[in-house]
């Protein structure tokens, strides 16, 4: 760790995830020293950041990883004292909606209480820092679209409920303690690094495998759900801009376009000249006890205040992801 007072230092929780890995790349490219929290696991879980990690003795070593967990508050205090970050991005969570019905208490602990542990650690360490909270369009749940920063929340899963808790905690710390704390209310955002159990990536991986003759069926749940799917690398740029603004406030990031799971299937399969209806089967295991039918975000505030606008829309996103999964299979085949 450098002792140079002018170096901007960021802490990312959830650095091993899709967004954490893109954000780490972005911040490193802007000259930041980046610290990430990782969880101990018996299997490797850093594959999304392995390409930017360097040995400690490398001269331009600016990415540091620390074992920690949002369920361990005292560890967070120790680390914040040590690192003294000027920006904290809280991206860590149990982030899967379907899984949150199976593990509601754990989801509440990490996705909800984890945020207050981190905010309390910032207060306890008495550091001056800006704070970004990964809020989610899942908080809108059953409230009809389009949704913006004034839309009432109506979460439909333990995950959504926990995110609402974290949203209000972040606002409360802003108002109560004058902390520069913002909520980025991000609509679904995807990429070749999206986890394989989210519907977009599940589809694009299957397309690549079906095209290669490695798979012949794809089991899915509700095809009628409508989502506003954007491109994750553009969304992490939006996160960073939120923390550079003069005033802390909350922002929606979205594309303001709506497609169903069925539409996404069409875009992905069509890209390799296949008819999705020949391969897709229904499996009720993928249904949720309560579903979010439609999310479409109005990102006018982010456009006006941050100059942020999405460039990649869902049809192109599906193609990018299919191409990446085909390329990944080819690399695997050569091993």
For residues 241 and 262, which CB has a smaller minimum distance to ligand GDP in the complex? 262
CB of 293 to ligand GDP, least distance (A): 8
Per-residue b or e along 289-319, where b marks 16 or more CB atoms closer than 10 Å to that residue's CB: eebbebbbbbbebbbeebebebebbbbebbb
Q: Which of 291, 175, 240, 198 has the alpha carbon at shortest distance from 26?
A: 240
- What are residue 226's phi and psi, to 5 degrees? -110, 130
Give the residue carrying structure tokens 């990312």: 12
Nearer to ligand GDP, 22 or 264 (CB): 264
Q: Cβ closer to ligand GDP: 79 or 218?
A: 218
Smallest separation, CB 195 to ligand GDP (Å): 9
Query: Would you say 136 or 148 has its CB closer to ligand GDP?
Result: 136
CA atoms of 92 and 110, how far apart (whole Å): 8
Residues that bind ligand GDP (CB under 6 A): 97-98, 138, 188, 197-200, 202, 220-222, 225, 227, 261, 286, 288, 291-292
Q: What are phi and psi of 186, to 5 degrees?
A: -95, 130
- Which residue lies nearer to ligand GDP by CB, 73 or 315? 315
Instruction: Tell me whether residue 247 is one of the annotated catalytic residues.
Output: no
Q: Which residue is nearest to ligand GDP (CB)?
A: 225
Q: Dig out the tokens for 148 from the structure.
A: 């913006």
Task: Choose among 71, 150, 177: nearest CA to 118.
Answer: 71
Q: How far is the CB of 138 from ligand GDP (least distance, A)?
A: 6
Q: Is 136 one of the catalytic residues? A: yes
Shortest distance in whole angstroms from residue 102 CB to ligand GDP: 13
Active-site entry in 136, 137, 166, 191 = 136
Question: CA torsion sign, 325 to 328 to 332 to 334?
Answer: positive
Least Cβ distance, residue 219 to ligand GDP (angstroms) = 7
Give me the catalytic one of 159, 165, 235, 251: 159
Pairs from 27-30 (Cβ < 8 Å, separation ≥ 24): 27/240, 28/52, 28/62, 28/63, 30/240
Taking each continuous run of H as one helix and of E as one strand, the counts in the chain are 11, 13
Catalytic residue among 138, 165, 167, 231: 138
Q: What are phi and psi of 273, to 5 degrees?
A: 60, 40
The catalytic residues are 136, 138, 159
């Amino acid at each position: 760790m450098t002792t140079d007072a002018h170096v901007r230092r960021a802490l990312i929780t959830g650095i091993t995830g899709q967004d954490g890995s893109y954000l780490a790349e972005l911040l490193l490219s802007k000259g930041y020293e980046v610290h990430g929290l990782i969880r101990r696991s018996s299997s490797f879980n850093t594959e999304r950041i392995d390409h930017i990690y360097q040995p400690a003795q490398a001269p331009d070593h600016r990415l540091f990883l620390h074992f920690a967990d949002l369920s361990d508050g005292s560890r967070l205090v120790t680390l914040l004292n040590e690192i003294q970050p000027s920006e904290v991005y809280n991206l860590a969570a149990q982030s899967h909606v379907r899984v949150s019905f199976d593990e509601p208490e754990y989801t509440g602990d990490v996705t909800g209480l984890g945020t207050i542990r981190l905010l309390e650690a910032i207060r306890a360490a008495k550091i001056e820092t800006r704070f970004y909270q990964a809020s989610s369009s899942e908080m809108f749940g059953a409230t009809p679209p389009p949704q913006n920063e004034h839309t009432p929340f109506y979460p439909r899963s333990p995950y959504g409920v926990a995110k609402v808790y974290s949203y209000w905690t972040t606002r409360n710390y802003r108002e109560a303690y004058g902390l520069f704390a913002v909520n980025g209310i991000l609509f679904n955002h995807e990429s070749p690094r999206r986890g394989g159990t989210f519907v977009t990536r599940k589809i694009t991986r299957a397309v690549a495998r079906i095209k290669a003759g490695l798979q012949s069926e794809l089991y899915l749940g509700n095809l009628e759900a409508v989502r506003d799917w954007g491109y994750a690398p553009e969304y992490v740029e939006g996160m960073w801009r939120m923390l550079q603004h003069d005033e802390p406030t909350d922002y929606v990031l979205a594309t303001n376009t709506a497609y169903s799971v069925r539409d996404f299937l069409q875009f992905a399969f069509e890209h390799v000249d296949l008819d999705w209806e020949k391969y897709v089967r229904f499996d009720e295991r993928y249904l949720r006890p309560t579903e979010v039918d439609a999310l479409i975000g109005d990102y006018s505030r982010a456009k006006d205040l941050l100059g942020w606008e999405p460039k990649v829309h869902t049809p192109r996103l599906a193609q990018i992801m299919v191409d990446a999964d085909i390329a990944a299979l080819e690399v695997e085949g050569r091993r």
